[in-house]
Amino acid sequence: MSDETNNRDEKRKRSKGSDDAEELREIAAALPELFKAINDSIPQMISGIIGSVYSPEAAGNMGAAVGTFYSKLIAEGIPEAVALEMTKKFVGALDFEKLIGMVTSEIDTDKKRKRRTKIEDDDWDEDDDEE
């Protein structure tokens, strides 16, 4: 390769490095504003979710839904004891804490699955390297 080609390659590398550095500076400058927005919005969002789930209106809607569910089961000829048991399970499915627990459990399971996949991939790569 000629000196001219080497010089052009070096200039490109330096230019790319300075572009990357400038991009990092811009990102770092935007982070405080982003974190402030997150700190302001997350508590409001959580309060909104809790308020909508545990409000008197939400409780009334839940009561109406449970009553309608039970009534329709009975109207369809389901025996009262079975309808009551099904309604209890329906109410259990509406339990916010249980839903959060299921979501958290699913997230944990997904993280473990990803970790296990990464470990298996790493093991596979190591076996590949040994050949």
Domain boundaries, the chain: 1-54
Residue type, position 65, single letter: A
Instruction: Write out pLDDT tens, residues 53-86.
Output: 677 887 888 889 899 999 999 999 999 999 999 9
List the structure tokens of 126.
């190591």
Which residues are CB-contacts of 70 (< 8 A; sequence separation ≥ 6)?
83, 84, 87
- Is the pTM higher than 0.95? The answer reads no
pLDDT of amino acid 16: 64
Cα 48 to chain centroid, rounded: 18
Instruction: Write out pLDDT tens, residues 1-46.
Output: 566 666 666 666 666 667 888 888 888 888 888 888 888 888 888 8
Q: Please count the residues of the chain.
A: 131
* 90 touches 66 (CB < 8 A): yes
pLDDT of amino acid 10: 65
Torsion of CA 32, 37, 42, 48, to 10 degrees: 170
List the structure tokens of 54.
């545990």
